[in-house]
Amino acid sequence: MAICCQTPFKPTPISPSTALNTHTRLTISESQTFTCNLSQPSLTLTTEPEPIFTFVKSFAPATVANLGPGFDFLGCAVDGLGDYVTITVDPKVRPGQICISEIHGPKKLSKDPLWNCAGIAAISTMKMLGIRSVGLSLSLHKGLPLGSGLGSSAASAAAAAVAVNEIFGKKLGFDDLVNAGLESEAKVSGFHADNIAPAIMGGFVLIRSYEPLELMRLQFPNDKELFFVLVSPEFEAPTKKMRAALPAEIGMSHHVWNCSQAGALVASVLQGDVEGLGKALSSDKIVEPKRAPLIPGMESVKKAAIEAGAFGCTISGAGPTAVAVIDCEEKGKEIGIKMVEAFLKDGNLKASAMVRRLDRVGARLVSSMPI
Amino acid sequence: MAICCQTPFKPTPISPSTALNTHTRLTISESQTFTCNLSQPSLTLTTEPEPIFTFVKSFAPATVANLGPGFDFLGCAVDGLGDYVTITVDPKVRPGQICISEIHGPKKLSKDPLWNCAGIAAISTMKMLGIRSVGLSLSLHKGLPLGSGLGSSAASAAAAAVAVNEIFGKKLGFDDLVNAGLESEAKVSGFHADNIAPAIMGGFVLIRSYEPLELMRLQFPNDKELFFVLVSPEFEAPTKKMRAALPAEIGMSHHVWNCSQAGALVASVLQGDVEGLGKALSSDKIVEPKRAPLIPGMESVKKAAIEAGAFGCTISGAGPTAVAVIDCEEKGKEIGIKMVEAFLKDGNLKASAMVRRLDRVGARLVSSMPI
């Protein structure tokens, strides 16, 4: 059964010439800063855009958030691993509504657009665009497992937001798409943009503030290589449980330490210093020490990764995936084997390893059919 | 009366070929990372170096530490404002000892080298170099007021360490000189390197760790301009009192906020984004809110700076100097006037303003006479 949902909007008519509101700032530099007001889309159109494709298929990558001392404000995208969303102009769907027609992946995902990551982001994007005259159907192909710490919900939301935007001629910018995804994240895994922003924008993204939403893209140099060794054990580490493990209060010395490591992490990203990046990634004294003991074997896995030559290792997102960094794919595979062994030996958990490049593109159109 | 002090060392004979110990790492890149073991100098010479000058005069710049969310780990040097130290080979001083012959500046400074910032750093540097056969006299010319929040003690220590190193042929590197200065800072204003490191190295320096001491030089682009508006009120804000105002525990949301701003600050420095730098500088939610109320008028001064066009403003070091940033000297002067007015109006304090460039050089030789 496909459950449809109307976009609950009332667009404010603003002339296109003043479409960028006063809270919107776009600064293009080595790192780009995007600012927008969360309360309304940065672009509101006087006329409803028409679809330019009959269908589009989009892809959005997995993401690694938290990144040690980058907890809750820094994330990055991972190449070749993620979710697909297909959006089709569907005359059988009531205009202004969206239906989820099919989901390839975990059975427990809801087909009600209001309770599905992709659905929520799609509705939010339709609302921003002011879609009243066209009905859409959405098909979700999950490439990411749920609750793995690889930004599964964000990937679905990012792919959906980008697909809806593309089908109507790409009227919205990164900031609006991130906001659309944030609505979904807020319902599903908490109000945080450190997965959804890199899922949409690619590369490394620093969340500078939420009110207004301000994002800094941190450009990892194009001529440098960065590989993530992602090792996922067969273990459920729900985000909420992992959040509950966080300390409410932090001592000043640990605060200063983590701040300095966060600064070093940002500098290492911008300079393409994978060794420095790994070292910073490994240096969290606040969150990882509380969470790692909740994932059987994690401390040994980190040790094994470092001993095998990884520059650094930590928990990806809220876990249970462990992420190590290295600058060579072959070396990454060797590190992955050692990490899998450590999960089995010290955590009694089966695990699988992947070595993936940094994704520098973010959510994207992969196929389409013009009208 | 000149009080002399023997260098209390026993040098370890290590061959010059293995002089860089296992803890020493020198990575030259856009930012340079220096690592060394605090417990011993990175360079210990088998033979005592001989002086190559009869006297040297050095200069070390003022520094702005804390830098909002960069509290306790990030500092930068300020051009054209600092202390001078003259070191002379003095046959009247017992070999291996140092005397402070004169101090131009505040009367309360001790001439006992063990109780004087410059003296402590000079002794430490002599110790690292293994000086046993030459006596030195030191003259200190203070350009910086004490307790102003502009790294007065660090400037004296940096100038002294560099002068001693220069007179014996510059055998020591940045890391050792910072360690020498740290000995002084630890005695005088607390064990923190965020003044002494930029005073010696110039520019922005991030203190990544203390054990081992690891410093990251953050290169502000040479083609960009950065000016500091430094406004010092006639008010004493001792470091210890300001330290006592710090919260012992920090809530997670404030921790995450300050960490993200620290990351944004580092990114802005590396990209030469003065506006972003100022914004980050202004964004501290942890230290500045506790300290600013202890400096009469500080909150109004910050407001006045921003209203006058400064990109950001905070307390310099532990105060009472207020520091604002801007990319234009003329504009800086206008901002300074407004800040001085605000100190008078809302703090009932007389204040003076200066506009200074970022110092990119650090402590340096300014004159010398070869033997």
Q: What is the pLDDT of residues A25-72, one digit of tens each?
A: 333 334 555 554 444 455 556 789 999 999 999 999 999 999 999 999
Query: What is the sign, positive or negative, of the torsion defined by CA atoms of A226, A203, A138, A1?
Result: positive
Domains of chain A from N-terminus onward: 4-219+359-370 (3.30.230.10), 227-357 (3.30.70.890)
For A145-189, strand residue ranges (E) read none
Query: B235-266: per-residue pLDDT in tens?
Result: 987 667 777 899 999 999 999 999 999 999 99
* B22 given a catalytic annotation: no
Q: Which helix or strand (DSSP H or E) is residue B97 part of?
A: strand B97-104
Percentage of residues of chain A with pLDDT beyond 70? 87
Q: Are A335 and A324 in contact (CB under 8 A)?
A: yes
Which pLDDT does position B190 carry in this prediction?
83
Give me the total of CB pairs closer than 8 Å, taking one residue from chain A and one from chain B: 119
Nearest by Cα to B210 from B192, B225, B227: B192
pTM reported for the whole predicted model: 0.89
Q: Side-chain half-sphere of A315: how many Cα atoms within 13 Å?
A: 31
B33/A276 CB distance under 8 A: yes
Compute the distance between CA of residue B166 and CA of residue B173 in angstroms, rounded to an integer: 11
Query: B178-221: per-residue pLDDT in tens?
Result: 999 999 999 988 888 999 999 999 999 999 999 899 999 999 99
DSSP β-bridge partners for residue B97 = B6
- Residue A332, pLDDT > 70, answer yes
Which pLDDT does position A11 carry in this prediction?
38
| Cβ-based contacts of B72 with chain A (< 8 Å) | 256, 260
Residue A371 touches partner B, C-beta closer than 8 Å: no
Residue A342 touches partner B, C-beta closer than 8 Å: no
Tokens 């109004």 -> residue = B300
Question: Residue B49 gets which letter from DSSP?
Answer: P
| Cβ-based contacts of B31 with chain A (< 8 Å) | 267, 271, 273
| Cβ-based contacts of B251 with chain A (< 8 Å) | 248-250
Largest Cα span, chain A? 63
Query: B24-41: per-residue pLDDT in tens?
Result: 333 333 455 555 444 445
Give the amino acid at B100.
Answer: I
In this prediction, residues B146-159 reach a mean pLDDT of 94
Computed over every residue of chain A, the mean pLDDT equals 89
Alpha helices, H only, B50-146: 117-129
Q: Indicate the burial class of A133 (C-beta count within 10 angstroms; 0-12, 13-18, 19 or more).
A: exposed
> Is the peptide bond between A16 and the residue preceding it cis, with omega within 30 degrees of 0?
no
Q: Are B187 and B120 in contact (CB under 8 A)?
A: yes
CA distance to partner chain A, nearest, from residue B33 (Å): 9
Which pLDDT does position B21 carry in this prediction?
32
Best of A218, A252, A287 to disrupt the B interface (most B CBs within 10 Å) is: A252
Question: Which one is predicted more confidently, A131 or B31?
Answer: A131
> Which of A68-77, A170-179, A241-250 has the least mean pLDDT?
A241-250
Which pLDDT does position B231 carry in this prediction?
98
Q: Is A305 helix (H, G, I), strand (E, B) or coil?
A: helix
Compute the distance between CA of residue A351 and CA of residue A346 in angstroms, rounded to an integer: 12
> Is the peptide bond between B289 and the residue preceding it cis, with omega within 30 degrees of 0?
no
Question: Which one is predicted more confidently, B105 or B349?
Answer: B349
Catalytic residues of A, by residue number, are 185, 239
Q: Are B173 and B215 in contact (CB under 8 A)?
A: no
Q: Are A33 and A214 in contact (CB under 8 A)?
A: yes
Nearest by Cα to B162 from B151, B170, B154, B153: B170
Residue B265 touches partner A, C-beta closer than 8 Å: yes
CA distance to partner chain B, nearest, from residue A33 (Å): 9
Compute the distance between CA of residue A214 and CA of residue B279 in angstroms, rounded to an integer: 12
Query: CA-nearest residue of chain A to B69?
Result: A259
Compute the distance between CA of residue A67 and CA of residue A316 in angstroms, rounded to an integer: 7
Q: Are B360 and B203 in contact (CB under 8 A)?
A: yes
B259/A33 CB distance under 8 A: no
- Residue A18, pLDDT > 70, answer no
Q: Indicate the burial class of A290 (C-beta count within 10 angstroms; 0-12, 13-18, 19 or more).
A: middle
Within 10 angstroms of residue B82's Cβ, the number of other Cβ atoms is 30
Which pLDDT does position B30 carry in this prediction?
42
Q: Are A262 and A314 in contact (CB under 8 A)?
A: no
- Residue B359, pLDDT > 50, answer yes
B70/A286 CB distance under 8 A: no
Nearest by Cα to A202 from A177, A234, A183, A231: A177
Compute the distance between CA of residue B173 and CA of residue B44 in angstroms, rounded to an integer: 12
Where b means 16+ CB within 10 Å and e means fewer, B238-256 reads ebeebeeeebeebebebbb
Query: CA-nearest residue of chain A to B264?
Result: A208
Nearest-10 crossing angle of helices A117-129, A174-188: 140
Query: B71-101: per-residue pLDDT in tens?
Result: 999 999 999 999 999 999 999 999 999 999 9
Q: What six digits make up the tokens of B103?
A: 């101090």
Query: CA-nearest residue of chain B to A262?
Result: B263
- Residue B324, pLDDT > 70, answer yes
Nearest by Cα to A32 from B276, B327, B280, B29: B276
Backbone phi and psi for residue B227, each to the nearest 5 degrees, phi listed first = -115, 140
Question: Which one is predicted more confidently, B341 or A32?
Answer: B341
Which pLDDT does position A5 carry in this prediction?
55
**For chain B, percent helix, then strand, then coil, each to nearest 5?**
35, 25, 40
3-state DSSP of A140-157: EECCCCCCCCCCHHHHHH
CA B82 distance to own-chain centroid: 10
- Residue B22, pLDDT > 50, answer no
Q: What six digits make up the tokens of A102?
A: 């099919």
Compute the distance between CA of residue A123 and CA of residue A6 in angstroms, rounded to an integer: 8
Compute the distance between CA of residue A207 and CA of residue A267 in angstroms, rounded to an integer: 16
Query: CA-nearest residue of chain B to A207?
Result: B260
What long-range pairs does A6-12 form, CB within 8 A, spacing at least 24?
A6/A94, A6/A96, A6/A97, A7/A96, A7/A97, A7/A98, A7/A123, A7/A126, A7/A127, A7/A131, A7/A132, A8/A123, A8/A127, A9/A126, A9/A127, A9/A130, A11/A44, A11/A45, A11/A130, A12/A40, A12/A44
Residue A74 touches partner B, C-beta closer than 8 Å: yes
Query: B295-312: per-residue pLDDT in tens?
Result: 999 999 999 999 999 999
* Residue-level length of chain A: 371
Question: Which one is predicted more confidently, A298 or A47?
Answer: A298
B247/A252 CB distance under 8 A: yes
A250/B247 CB distance under 8 A: no
> Band of the pLDDT at A130, cuts 50, 70, 90?
very high
In this prediction, residues B281-286 reach a mean pLDDT of 96
Q: Are A266 and A203 in contact (CB under 8 A)?
A: no
Task: Point out the residue among A73, A264, A286 whose CB comes nearest to the CB of B208.
Answer: A264
Q: Are B104 and B141 in contact (CB under 8 A)?
A: yes
Q: Is B286 helix (H, G, I), strand (E, B) or coil?
A: coil
Alpha helices, H only, chain A: 117-129, 152-167, 174-188, 196-201, 239-244, 252-271, 274-281, 288-291, 298-307, 329-347
| Cβ-based contacts of B256 with chain A (< 8 Å) | 71-73
Compute the distance between CA of residue A194 and CA of residue A262 in angstroms, rounded to an integer: 14
Q: Is A348 helix (H, G, I), strand (E, B) or coil?
A: coil
Compute the distance between CA of residue B233 and CA of residue B245 in angstroms, rounded to an integer: 20
Q: Are A143 and A82 in contact (CB under 8 A)?
A: yes
Compute the distance between CA of residue A99 and CA of residue A116 in angstroms, rounded to an integer: 11
| Cβ-based contacts of A31 with chain B (< 8 Å) | 267, 271, 273
Percentage of residues of chain A with pLDDT beyond 90? 80
Query: CA-nearest residue of chain A to B269?
Result: A267
Compute the distance between CA of residue A179 and CA of residue B99 in angstroms, rounded to an integer: 66
Cα distance from N-terminal residue to C-terminal residue, chain B: 27
* B185 given a catalytic annotation: yes
A248/B251 CB distance under 8 A: yes
Give the amino acid at A339.
Answer: M
Q: What six digits make up the tokens of A83?
A: 């979710």
A260/B29 CB distance under 8 A: no
Query: What is the sign, positive or negative, of the torsion defined by CA atoms of B284, B286, B291, B293?
Result: positive
Q: What six digits make up the tokens of A85?
A: 């969303």
Which pLDDT does position A296 carry in this prediction?
95
- Residue A21, pLDDT > 70, answer no
Residue B211 touches partner A, C-beta closer than 8 Å: no
Q: Is A260 helix (H, G, I), strand (E, B) or coil?
A: helix
Task: Point out the residue among A74, A252, A266 whose CB comes nearest to the CB of B246.
Answer: A252
Out of B33, B35, B54, B239, pick the active-site residue.
B239
Nearest by Cα to B70 from B246, B210, B207: B207
Q: Are A133 and A168 in contact (CB under 8 A)?
A: no
Compute the distance between CA of residue A7 and CA of residue B226 in angstroms, rounded to an integer: 48
Cα angle B352, B358, B361 (rounded to 5 degrees) comes to 125
| Cβ-based contacts of A209 with chain B (< 8 Å) | 260
| Cα dihedral A122/A125/A129/A135 (nearest 10) | 10
